[in-house]
Structure 1
Amino acid sequence: MSPQEFERLVAGVTAQIADRPLDDALDAWLNATWPDGSPTFEALAEACRAGVAEGWLCNREAGGLRYGRIFKALPATHGFSVDVVSMKDIAGPHHAHPNGEIDLIMPLTADATFDGRPAGWCVYGPGTAHRPTVAHGEALVLYLLPAGAIEFTQAA
């Protein structure tokens, strides 16, 4: 797996969601279309694990998190930036999503959850905020941010 192959894999997903609102309907659609165990889910999870092992994903570390933005918002990724974070029993920095956020939750520990959710997709709508939290083990989380928009904030 190379960063270019990873970009093509992600672009296959973003092509199908680029014009959709980030809402509960998209969350349900993603989890029905590419659930945990589906070929697309597994290809993305394997690509992320390979990228971490090869050192081109999650190549920064701070505060117990390994993270990295692999792609800025690009035409090839239909205007989404792509970040991957490795977290283990930790809450990350509080942030807001001006345009929303789409997360692919890939547990590395069987029972690991992200914001209380198991393996699968999680969609946060525009204007939402949270302190991303992985509990019950370790997980990789792929973040798709429309226009790359994120605002790190103080928790309310």
Structure 2
Amino acid sequence: MDVPQFEQLIAGISSSIAGQPLDTALAARLNAEYGPGSPAYEALFSACREGVRDGWLCNREGGGIRYGRVLKATDATHGFSVDVVDMQDLAGPHHVHPHGEIDLIMPLTPGARFDGHPAGWCVYGPGSAHRPTVSEGRALVLYLLPQGAIEFTRAA
């Protein structure tokens, strides 16, 4: 697995959701079509584990979080950037999602949760904000950001 192959995996999913509203219906659809146990979920989880192991994912570290933007928002990714974080039992920096955020939760510790969500997909709508939090263990979280938009804030 390498970055171009990873981009192809992402494009397979991003092509099916491009232009869709970022809401609970999209989260339900992603979990039904690409949720845990599906070939797409397992391929992405495997690719992320390999990318972390090989050093092209999560190649930065700060505040106990390993992170990195692996793909910029381009036509190849249908306007989504892709970031992946590796977190264990902590909260990250507060931020706002100007256009929303789509998250894929991949627990490395069985039962680990992201913002209270188990393995699978969660979707935050435009203008939403949070302190991304992994609890009950360690997880990789893949973020799809429309137009790569994210605004870090000082809010708690």
TM-score, reference length from structure 1: 0.99
- Structure 2: distance between partners of 1:68 and 1:99: 20
Query: CA deviation digits over 1:15-43, x for unaligned, max 9?
Result: 00011010111011111111111110000
Deviates more, 1:140-149 or 1:33-42: 33-42
- Structure 2: distance between partners of 1:30 and 1:89: 25
CA RMSD of the aligned region, Å? 0.6
Does residue 30 (structure 1) correspond to residue 30 (structure 2)? The answer is yes
Deviation at 1:155, TM superposition (A): 2.0
Residue 123 of structure 1: aligned partner: 123
After superposition, residues 1-40 of structure 1 pair within 5 angstroms as 1-40=1-40
Residue 102 of structure 1: aligned partner: 102
The size of the alignment, in residue pairs, is 156
- Structure 2: distance between partners of 1:155 and 1:73: 26
- 3-state SS of 1:37 partner: coil
Residue 144 of structure 1: aligned partner: 144
- Structure 2: distance between partners of 1:138 and 1:55: 18
Deviating runs (4+, > 3 A) in structure 1?
none
Residue 155 of structure 2: aligned partner: 155
Residue 69 of structure 1: aligned partner: 69
Query: CA deviation digits over 1:64-95, x for unaligned, max 9?
Result: 00000001101100000000000000100000
- Structure 1: distance between partners of 2:73 and 2:38: 26
- Structure 1: distance between partners of 2:24 and 2:154: 26
Report the AA paired with residue 145 of structure 2.
Answer: L
- Structure 2: distance between partners of 1:109 and 1:155: 29
Identity in percent: 70
- Structure 1: distance between partners of 2:25 and 2:43: 23
- Structure 1: distance between partners of 2:111 and 2:22: 26
- Structure 2: distance between partners of 1:104 and 1:53: 19
Identify unmatched segments of 5+ residues in structure 2: none
Does residue 59 (structure 1) correspond to residue 59 (structure 2)? The answer is yes
TM-score, reference length from structure 2: 0.99
- 3-state SS of 2:142 partner: strand
Deviation at 1:48, TM superposition (A): 0.3
Deviation at 1:111, TM superposition (A): 1.0
Deviation at 1:97, TM superposition (A): 0.2
- Structure 1: distance between partners of 2:13 and 2:33: 10
- Structure 2: distance between partners of 1:58 and 1:35: 22
Identify unmatched segments of 5+ residues in structure 1: none
